[in-house]
Homo-oligomer: A and B are copies of this chain.
Amino acid sequence: MTQPLRLGIAGLGTVGIGVVKIVKQQADLLAARTGRKIEISAISARTRDKDRGVSLKGFAWEDDPVALATRSDVDVFVELMGGSDGPAKAATEAAIAAGKDVVTANKAMLAIHGQALAEAAEAAGSVIRYEAAVAGGIPVIKTLTEGLAANRITRVMGVMNGTCNYILTRMEATGQGYNTLFEEAHKLGYLEADPNLDVGGIDAGHKLALLSSIAFGTQVDFDGIELEGIQRVSLDDIRQAADMGYKIKLLGVAQMTGRGLEQRMSPCLVPAASPLGQLDGGTNMVVIEGDAVGQIVLRGAGAGEGPTASAVMGDVCDIARGFRLAVFGQPATSLTRATRAQSVLPAPYYLRMTLRDKPGALAKVAAILGNAGVSIHRMRQYDHVDDKAPVLIVTHKTTRTALDEALAAIATTDVVTEAPVALRIETV
C-alpha cells in the first residue's frame, strides 16, 4: 500500500463535518477501495471552539485557510467554506501554487473563476475536483466527463436547486402562495444566507455554467446564462400549468445551437408525466443527452450532509486512486469561448398578465402579439376583480426575441397592471 493521502479541510459546516465523519467511520472501506489510507492532517474553520458532534482530536488546527492549504502534510486541500471570492479563492490559489490537489463544493467560485483556476491548476499539475458543487450526491460531473466522454453532448437539463423545487412543489400541494412558502423554507433552514442565490436562480445557474463547460468544451460563462428566478411564479400559474398537464420547475437548459451556446435557468413548464415533472420536493435531477447514448437521467439528493460529503469523498477517492483529469474534462487552454445564443430555438410559451377593465384591452394585447408574429394557441380570461382581470395565454412556438418584443410593447400600454409573466414550455 502506498503512502496515505492526507487531507486539509477548510470549512466545518454541515458538509465539512460530513466529510470528517466519512473519513473516520469508513476508513477501512476507503482503504480497501482506493488502496491507500485516507487521513485528515489539519482543519480550519471560522470558529474553533464549538461542539460539532464529532471529535476533531488529532487534527492540526489552522486559523488561516491559506496556511492550511499550503501545509507540507496536506496532499489535498478540501475547500468547503463557500463564497466566490475571499478566503475560499485565496486558499484554493495558494493550494494550487503549492502543488496540492483541490476538492471543493464551491459552485460560485468555479462558475466565476473556473477558467483562471483551471489554467493555474493544470499549469501546476494539480487537479481540481468539484462533484459536490453540482447536484449534491449525484455523480453528474463524473458522468459527463468520464462515463459519457465518447459522446458529443447535445443538451443538458437540470432541476438543481432543491429549495426552489421544494417551494414550487409545496405551492401546488398546499395551495399556499410563494411568500408563505418562502417563509416556510426560510424557517426550515433551506435558504442560503442570501436567499436570492436560491430563489433568484443564481445558485442553480452556477451549476449549469459548470455543466455547460464540460458538456460543450467551452469556457465557463455564468454571465452568459439567461437567468430568471421563481419569485414571480404564482399559485395561478401552477394551477393553470397543472390543468394543461404541466408542472412548473426551475429548469436549467444548456444546448449548443447553430448560433452558439444557449444557457437558460428559468421557471419552465414541463410535462407532468416526464421524469422532470415528477420530481417533487428537494430532490435534484439532471438530464443529459448525447449523440450516442441518447438520454440519461440522474436523480438524487441535491444537498445535505451525507449526499454532499459523499460527492466530496468520491473526488478524494479518485485522487487517492491516481485518477487525474483536466478540470473541465479537457485542458483548460483548449476550451473555446462560446458565442452566446439566447433561446434561439422557438418554443411555446405560457403568458400571464393582468388587464385593466378597459374596452378593447384584450384586443390590444392580441393585436400586439399578432403583430410580433406570436400566434396564440389558447387564451383564457377571468372575471374582473377590483377592475383587474387575469388573462392566461399559451402561444404556439415562437422565438424568445419575438415574444420579448411583444411583451415589451404590451408592458408600455395602459391595459396591463404590471409586466406580463412569460414561462417557456419545455419539451423534455
Measured CB to CB, the nearest residue on chain B to A313 is: B150
Enumerate chain B residues within 8 angstroms of A316, measured Cβ to Cβ: 150
Smallest beta-carbon distance A351→chain B, Å:
30
Let me know if B310 and A151 touch, CB within 8 A. yes
- Give the size of the chain A interface in residues (CB under 8 angstroms): 58
Q: Is the CB of B296 within 8 A of A299?
A: yes
Q: Which of B131, B291, B293, B334 contacts A147 (CB 8 A)?
A: B131
Q: Give bound CA distance, A396 to B73, whole Å.
A: 57
Query: Taking A149-B33, A314-B150, A334-B32 as contacts, is the C-beta distance between A294 and B137 under 8 angstroms?
Result: yes
* A354 to B: closest C-beta gap in Å: 36
Q: Does A26 contact B (CB under 8 A)?
A: yes
Name the segment of A84-92, A109-117, A168-176, A317-325 touching the other chain.
Answer: A317-325
Complex alpha-carbon distance, A330 and B317, angstroms: 12
Q: Is A366 an interface residue (CB 8 A)?
A: no
User: A181-189, A301-309, A385-393, A413-421: which lies at the B interface?
Assistant: A301-309
Q: How far is the CA of A294 from the CA of B306 in the complex (A)?
A: 7
Residues of A within 8 A of B (CB): 18, 22, 26, 29-30, 32-35, 131, 137-139, 142-143, 145-152, 217, 275, 278, 290-301, 304, 306-307, 309-311, 313-314, 316-318, 321-325, 329-331, 334
Instruction: Provide 6 A-B residue pairs closer than 8 Å at the C-beta atoms, listed in order of the A residue.
Output: A22-B292, A26-B152, A146-B314, A150-B316, A275-B278, A294-B301
